[in-house]
Amino acid sequence: MIANVIITSVVGGFLCLDRVFLLLMISRPIVAAPLIGYLLGDPYTGLVAGAFTELFWIDRLPMGIYIPPNSTITAILITASSIEAGHLLGFMSRGMFTLAVLVFVPFGHFAQKMDFLIVKGNEKLADEALRDVMKIDDNSLSRKHFFPLLKTWAFSAGFIMVALGLGIPLLTFLYPVLPGWTGRGLEILYPLLPLIGTAVALNATHVRGFFPVFCGVFLFAGALFYYIKGIS
């Protein structure tokens, strides 16, 4: 488990860089979560987590100074915690996945606050970089260019590592001791997760040009579900 948590944290940190630097869309939950699931041997769970998280916060767009909840980290945490808790318990259930969703969705807002602090810190570096330009100090300017990337990766990877270090033992301990009615309730809630995400996405279609994006994500996720289930 420890090795998988480290791998997830390192790779997850690099995926989070795409949110601020690469912008290749690999940080989107529908991409990042299946990648983590593939690394951990269960891409299907990653796809389910990515599709739900993608739809759940699809109406939170990073426009202007607004920083949305960190859906990338949320999807990674749900995926990795579900898979690793399943390995430790010897079984994987829909109820445990639902419990992971309930536990880790709030972490998206915690990571949002972390992103805000990173951005505020980068503003100070930007002011210092302008002074370096005035001094024609290329070496210092180069360091200030790469330091925010290293900081973003380190904070994201550290956040994932700490959250998984706490969350996986919590799921492993909590799920087996839940009352029977609670477990059945979590099982019932599992098929409702896509409906919750779809409702959020449909509510966001008033944004101009958003409906084709939603349809594209929905069809893409559906095709992947069908393909992965067909080969599993």
| Residues 13-53 pLDDT 10s | 999 888 877 778 888 998 999 999 999 999 989 988 988 88
Q: Is residue 136 part of a domain?
A: no
Average pLDDT over the chain, rounded to whole? 80
Start-end of H helices in the chain: 2-17, 29-39, 43-56, 71-89, 94-135, 138-177, 180-189, 193-203, 210-231
Q: Is residue 131 part of a domain?
A: no
Q: Is residue 142 part of a domain?
A: no
Given a cut of 70, whether residue 84 has pLDDT beyond it is yes
Region 126-148 average pLDDT: 62
Contact 114, 73 (CB under 8 A): no
Given a cut of 60, whether residue 227 has pLDDT beyond it is no
Q: Is residue 101 part of a domain?
A: yes
Share of the chain above pLDDT 70, in %: 73
User: What pLDDT is recorded for position 168?
Assistant: 92
Q: Is residue 137 part of a domain?
A: no
Share of the chain above pLDDT 90, in %: 29
Range of the domain at 225: 2-106+156-231
Given a cut of 90, whether residue 127 has pLDDT beyond it is no
CA dist., res. 29 & res. 57, Å (int): 10
Q: Is residue 115 part of a domain?
A: no
Region 146-158 average pLDDT: 85
Q: Is residue 70 part of a domain?
A: yes
Q: How far apart are the first and last CA of the chain?
A: 23
Q: Is residue 124 part of a domain?
A: no
Give the total number of structural domains in the chain.
1
Pseudo-torsion of CA 60, 61, 62, 64, nearest 10°? -110
| Residues 170-219 pLDDT 10s | 999 988 888 888 888 888 888 778 777 666 666 665 555 555 555 556 55
